[in-house]
Amino acid sequence: MGKGMKAGKKPKQPKMNNAQQMAQMQAMQREMDKVQEEIEQMETTATSGGGAVTVTVTGKKEIKDIQIQPDACDPDDVEMLQDLIMAAANEALRQMEEISQAEMNKFTSGLGLPGF
Burial environment of residue 87 by CB neighbours within 10 A (0 to 12, 13 to 18, 19 or more): middle
SS3 content of the chain, % helix, strand, coil (to 5): 50, 15, 35
What whole-number distance in Å separates Cα of residue 55 and Cα of residue 43?
Answer: 10
What whole-number distance in Å separates Cα of residue 112 and Cα of residue 48?
Answer: 39
Phi, psi of 63, rounded to the nearest 5 degrees: -75, 125
Query: What's the pLDDT tens digit per position in 76-86?
Result: 999 999 999 99
Q: What structural domains and CATH numbers belong to the chain?
A: 38-97 (3.30.1310.10)
- pLDDT above 50 (res 116): no
**Predicted structure pTM score:** 0.71
Residues 53-74 have a mean pLDDT of 95
Confidence of residue 22 (pLDDT cuts 50, 70, 90): confident
Comparing 9 with 57, the larger pLDDT belongs to 57
Query: What's the pLDDT tens digit per position in 24-49?
Result: 889 888 988 998 999 999 999 999 99
17-31, 36-50, 54-68, 91-105: range with lowest mean pLDDT:
17-31
Beta strand spans in 35-107 (E): 43-48, 53-58, 63-68
